[in-house]
A = this chain, B = another copy of it.
Amino acid sequence: MENAVLITIGDEILSGNTVDTNSNFIATELKNIGIKVSQIFTISDEIETIKKTIELAFETGNLIITTGGLGPTRDDKTKKAIAEFFNDEIALDEATFNHLKNYMERRGRLEILERNREQAFVPTKSTVFQNHFGTAPCMMMEQDGKLLFSLPGVPYEVKPLIKDQIVPFLQEKFNLNYISTRIVSVVGIPESILADTIEPWELALPENLSLSYLPIGTRVKLRLTGSGDNEAVLQQELENEIQKLLPLIKDNVIATSEDKIEKILAEILTERKLTISTAESCTGGELAKMITSVSGSSKYYLGGMVAYATEKKIEILKVKKETVDTFTVVSEQVASEMAEGCQQLFRTDISLSTTGVAGPGKGEDGKDIGTVFYTIRVNDKEITSKLYMPHLERLDFMDFVSQKIIQDLVGILINN
């Protein structure tokens, strides 16, 4: 199996200003074609550091992908470092310059600055993959059977370069082992008890299969990964092991195919032709966003309401003023009335509601930060639950609560 090392270059990651999402994307795409990422280095944009890290990376892997450090500004030094590492020089590449000129002209920039022209300078030994969504080209260097790709750092530019150009190139170049993964989603069992339960099965796995535990909120994803030179044989091996695993934890499994809970929900809703709507307070749109992040969600998601102000809960979702006065706005009763109002407003089979305080800062009724009541309403039945997560940051809270609600809903739908 080919072995890749990713190098992320740029102070914006090290300083905490930007989350590195490129590595995640690239690792996933490489995994799909059977290339394993063995290390990721995140380093600053300094020539010596870049050169030293390339050297180190080639000790571990035969494929390096760098992102970042190729912009038109003064703080980008990657290209120079790469040329020096490969004992090469930088020179203007005509094809790249023409591509750049066209790219800029199409965007109405008729004057090419010296700074932009510099972007068409590449190491003379490099193969250029043109960037259709930005001004920095992608360069490939090859030496002694080892490959280095240097990409810009902007995720919108990285994704098409990897998907449309680099992955097809690598597929053709290498004769790769096939890799495949199965994910089993498990709820309602702590990780340690789960591990004890399935230990005999795990220890008996064939050599080419391996298991990982990925806890996400209150769910654990068991990921079984295998490699082999025959795709069909490998798929069958994975399926056989999954069939041995399932009886051991059958009451706790909520999905054996899709990975993300919102995709698991999508499968169930589509199959059963059910519709859904949301009425959110403290999750502020995150629940809607999570549901609509799935392509095709317009088939079952009719719409939602973010009723942040109490009076909007009353006016639009028809929550009774007396209910708010008697029980406060963060209460089981208000969550329930929101779900009912939402179901009527959107006329859906299922409605979900949240009311709580995401913090920091106290809620309008003085209840503590981190409390949320949520209602899951399916036809004329509903369940209201409470979560208390005072230690979560605001965005984590919105995310955790939304995850948990969809997970609970999936559990309810599976058991009915």
Contacts and interface: CB of A to CB of B under 8 A. Distances in A.
Nearest to A287: B285
Interface stretch (A8-16, A84-92, A246-254, A380-388): A8-16
A256 interface: no
B295 A284 contact: no
Interface stretch (A24-32, A139-147, A169-177, A237-245): A24-32
Contacts of A20: 19-20, 23-24
Given A113-B196, A296-B361, A400-B156, A24 B28 contact: no
A364 interface: yes
B156 A364 contact: no
Given A23-B42, A38-B14, A225-B15, A303 B295 contact: no
Contacts of A8: 40
Interface in A210-264: 211-215, 221, 223, 225, 259
A133 B391 CA distance: 8
Interface stretch (A67-75, A122-130, A405-413): A67-75
Q: Indicate how many identical chains form the complex.
A: 2
Contact of A288 (B16, B223, B285, B296): B285
A286 B289 contact: yes
A70 B38 CA distance: 19
Interface stretch (A265-273, A307-315, A319-327, A371-379): A307-315
Interface of A: 8, 11-21, 23-31, 36-44, 49, 56, 71-75, 109, 113, 115-116, 132-133, 135, 154-156, 159-160, 190-193, 195-196, 199, 202, 211-215, 221, 223, 225, 259, 278, 280, 284-293, 295-298, 301-309, 312, 316, 345-346, 358-361, 364, 391-396, 398, 400
B212 A12 contact: yes
Residue of A160, A213, A221 ringed by the most chain B CB atoms within 10 A: A213
Contact of A37 (B14, B288, B358): B14
A43 B27 CA distance: 13
Residue of A28, A190, A307 ringed by the most chain B CB atoms within 10 A: A190
Contact of A346 (B37, B312, B400): B312
Contacts of A289: 284-286, 288-289, 398
A306 B305 contact: yes
Residue of A8, A71, A116, A303 ringed by the most chain B CB atoms within 10 A: A303
11 contacts: A12-B223, A15-B31, A15-B36, A19-B24, A20-B23, A38-B43, A74-B202, A285-B285, A285-B287, A303-B305, A304-B305
Given A13-B40, A395-B293, A303 B308 contact: yes
Residue of A15, A25, A113, A302 ringed by the most chain B CB atoms within 10 A: A15
A43 B346 CA distance: 48
A132 B307 CA distance: 33
Contact of A43 (B39, B113, B305): B39
Contact of A392 (B26, B156, B307): B156
Contacts of A27: 13-16
Given A73-B195, A156-B391, A306-B292, A21 B19 contact: yes
Contacts of A360: 295
B293 A303 contact: no
A156 to B, nearest CB: 6
Residue of A289, A316, A346, A361 ringed by the most chain B CB atoms within 10 A: A289
Contacts of A13: 23-24, 27, 40
Which 10 A-B pairs have CB atoms at the shortest separation, nearest pair first? A284-B292, A285-B288, A16-B28, A16-B27, A40-B42, A285-B289, A285-B285, A304-B306, A72-B192, A303-B312
A258 B228 CA distance: 51
A295 B359 contact: yes
A12 B74 CA distance: 35
Contact of A345 (B12, B75, B316, B364): B316
